[in-house]
Chains A and B, each alone.
Chain A
Amino acid sequence: MSRSTRTGAVAACLAASLVLAGCAGSGTADSGSSRLNIATLTFPQSLDPAQAVGSALPFFQASYDTLIKREPDGTFTPMLATAWTYDAGRTALALTLRKDVKFADGTAFDAAAVKANMERFGKGGGADAKWLADLKSVKVVDSAHVTLELKQPNPAMLFYLSDAAGLMANPAAFAKADSLKTSPDGTGPYRLDKASTTIGTKWVYERNPDYWGEPLPYEDLSISFFDNETAIVNGLKTGQVDAALLQTADQQISIESDPRMKTTKQEFDFQGLLLFDRAGQLTPALKDARVRRALNLAIDRKTMLTTIRQSRGQVTDQVFGPDTQGYDKALDTYYAHDPAAAKALLGEAGYAKGFTLKLPRISAIVNDALAASLAADFKAVGVTLVWDDLDGGSAVQKVFTDRAYSGMVMNMGQSSNDWVVVDELVTPGAFNMFGTTDATVRELIPAIQTGEGAQAGAAAHALNEHLVKEGWFVPFYRMTYLHVSDGTVEITPQSGMAVPSLYNYAPAK
């Protein structure tokens, strides 16, 4: 290469870099378009509804309809099923289906499709597949009628059918199941625009021109995944993100000072210590209800809420959320902060000198302030708290598979459905891994499971009160989350879900 060519190449490089360094950008956001840009901190592992999980529901709601629609206040309205009735024993749920619904390839949505989808969801190995554990069989009556036969009454069945278990995909796609993971095939209001989508980062959907129902207000939809709220907040401030949910108090404060933002508060997750070992297999002291009550009395919830969540939330002593029938406002403050009473209870139980409690710590959930605060509160009554630092992956393994700890500090969503709370936290399972029960729990659970309306509500209320008094859990507070839009979108929070349903977004008036 000659010297002049070399000089030319260097000059070209210099010119390009100077252009790059000095350029000024033109328009930043695609404001004014009819695209809704949602930012999120969670994303689905797959778009196959057999593996759907409730926490990622909006991704699925775009391409799939559920059998039943769940309104923002938690009530159920028709969607693919226009009517539903239980038999007297509440073990047969008859559904009447819409007749005018077709999948993209022209396949009709019918009773056979419901049967194929529900059987596939129950066996699909997804995280929520257990929801259909009570489903015995799906009987096709005719193309527009189907009956779900249950092994035992399940008061959350309508909830499940309005959630992941009710998503209906085209059975023609089941033969090529791998394709459903990245190419959804449903009857929903939008269709995935694969060319513009980067799975794992940004999912772009365009309106389904053949949608059977009322079209949603936006022509297009994009859902972007971020692993930190800083980027989301910057996106909101520059109008690149239209709507998002902010969980951390600092980011909430930063966005609230911006007058252009529209914000709506919602309390959804509670943070607390879930005690698993109520039979005292690992920590004998926990077998005694007085010890569990002492732990509840030992912690200073108000100070924790003030320092850790900057007062964004409500202290609580119960795991039932405000949208459930079991909830009782008085139980939010059942345990006052009373170290002396806690010490007295520990003395009565024979632990006057205290005991050691070892808990796993995932820094994403238990930050330094929370770890120090809990340890100090427990130490004041003589209980030594030992934190076992773990990363998220190995913690899940050690806690849930090896059952190596007596409890764990968690953030838990609060469902709007009493049975979902009972099934998740009280019946033997992942969060009652040692299978704790007692006479009161045994008596009340069937009443919630099989009882009608007010009767089931009363039982749930009684169960909640019993759990609080027995110190089954050590909840700290419900955390206030903030729904934020850049001012162009009206967001309606969804009862029982942290993220709003896709139907809950509309242009601001």
Chain B
Amino acid sequence: MLNFIARRTASGVLLLAVISFLSYVLLSVPDVDVGRQLLGQGADQAAVHAKNASLGLDRPVLAQYTDWLSHAVRGDLGTSWFTSEDVGAAVAGRLPVTASLMLGVTLVTTALSFLLGVWAGVRRGAVDRFVQVLGVVGYALPGFLVTLVIVLVFAVRLRWFPAIGYTAFTESPSGWLSTITLPVLSLSVASVAGVSQQVRGAVIDVLRQDYIRTLRARGLPMSRIVFRHVLRNASAPALSVLGMQFVGLLGGAVLVEQIFGLPGIGSMTVSYTARGDIPVIMALVMLTVVGVVLINLLVDVMIGWLNPKARVA
């Protein structure tokens, strides 16, 4: 297992290097005059040139990249061109918001998906059809619509939760819970719909296996069969989907963070990318790549832990 983790980590570092170079080059290609954007339409051309020079934009892209990389490996991610804040600190300040969302959605998705999936897979019949319909509806509803309805009902109408903003856990745990509940709920709808169907399918597959029939024939209680044998074998495909959902959540987080006015990585990605703030975008790209590599690694390790057969494979 250690060997596996080492190999995956090394390939992750290589991926990081390749993506950082490609991203930097691609971001530098667009014909956008950053100095002009910073100073506005009315600024005179000399001031625009001076601004570009002060940001190092008058140098070749390769030189700019090498400079960025040499600072980045030492932990210095530079300063935002558009807000003048330290990029490391800015990203670190917003990371807990998105991390809270993703953690919340993963927990909710895991719990509800396994409950619904196992329930449908084992009971079948009307229950199964109900869960399937629920899955289709949950998956088909557009994310923004779900989010807007949730805000209107639970925040604006009922006033149970705040409609916008984020309270840090360290500031107030109950405030934190109330500010992330609706965003987590809206992101979980599609996630639960997707993963529960995977769990259902996997449970049905496992229940058809010969060894389950043998276990049943030996008179083992159904609950014991489900929790000891079915779940373990059905968890691998579900965990893979869960991992993919987690990565895909970054996209959903963009929308949810905008609607709830959450100062997270998603909304940051959109606003800074639109402005072409390369130091910030590079930090976000790196963070995303590291996140994706880590999640995939974690999923593989978990599958191996839950199902020893997978380790051999």
A residues at B contact (CB < 8 Å): 1, 13-14, 16-18, 20-21, 23-26, 28-29, 43, 45-48, 53, 125-130, 178, 181-182, 198-202, 224, 226-228, 230-232, 234-235, 237-238, 240-241, 391-394, 396-401, 424, 429-431
Instruction: List B residues 1-45 near A (Cβ within 8 Å).
Output: 30-33, 36-45
How many A-B contacts are there with CB distance less than 8 Å? 176
5 contacts between A and B (CB under 8 A): A14-B110, A25-B160, A25-B177, A238-B159, A393-B274
Are A393 and B37 interface neighbours, CB within 8 A?
yes
Of all A-B residue pairs in the complex, the 10 with the closest CB atoms, nearest first, are A25-B178, A17-B107, A181-B84, A201-B263, A393-B32, A234-B163, A127-B40, A231-B261, A17-B111, A397-B33
Residues of chain B with a CB closer than 8 A to A399's CB: 41
- CB of B139 within 8 Å of the partner chain: no
Chain A CB within 10 Å — which of B45, B79, B163 has the most?
B163
Closest to B152 in A: A234
- Other than A228-B258, A238-B164, give 9 A-B pairs with Cβ distance below 8 A: A18-B111, A24-B160, A25-B177, A28-B162, A125-B51, A200-B263, A231-B258, A391-B274, A424-B42
Residues of chain A with a CB closer than 8 A to B288's CB: none
User: If the complex has contacts A28-B178, A227-B271, are A396 and B163 also in contact, measured as CB distance less than 8 A?
Assistant: no
Interchain CA distance A1-B202 in the complex, whole Å: 25
Interface size on B, residues (CB 8 A): 65
User: If the complex has contacts A227-B267, A234-B155, A393-B275, are A17 and B108 also in contact, measured as CB distance less than 8 A?
Assistant: yes
Are B83 and A45 interface neighbours, CB within 8 A?
yes
Q: DSSP class of B's interface residues: helix, strand, loop or mixed?
A: helix
A144 to chain B: closest CB distance in Å? 33
A228 to chain B: closest CB distance in Å? 6
Closest to B51 in A: A125
- CB of B181 within 8 Å of the partner chain: yes
Are A26 and B174 interface neighbours, CB within 8 A?
yes
Interchain CA distance A125-B52 in the complex, whole Å: 11
Residues of chain B with a CB closer than 8 A to A226's CB: 164, 261
Chain B CB within 10 Å — which of A29, A391, A400 has the most?
A400
User: If the complex has contacts A23-B181, A25-B181, are A238 and B33 also in contact, measured as CB distance less than 8 A?
Assistant: no
A360 to chain B: closest CB distance in Å? 12
Chain B CB within 10 Å — which of A28, A126, A237 has the most?
A28
A39 to chain B: closest CB distance in Å? 8
- CB of B229 within 8 Å of the partner chain: no
Are A200 and B90 interface neighbours, CB within 8 A?
yes
Are B164 and A234 interface neighbours, CB within 8 A?
yes
B45's partner among A126, A199, A401 (CB-CB below 8 A) is A401
Interchain CA distance A428-B47 in the complex, whole Å: 17
Closest to B182 in A: A25
Are B260 and A23 interface neighbours, CB within 8 A?
no
Closest to B114 in A: A14
Interchain CA distance A25-B37 in the complex, whole Å: 42
Are A235 and B108 interface neighbours, CB within 8 A?
no
Residues of chain B with a CB closer than 8 A to A401's CB: 33, 36, 45, 48
Interchain CA distance A259-B174 in the complex, whole Å: 31
Interchain CA distance A130-B47 in the complex, whole Å: 10
Are A198 and B94 interface neighbours, CB within 8 A?
yes
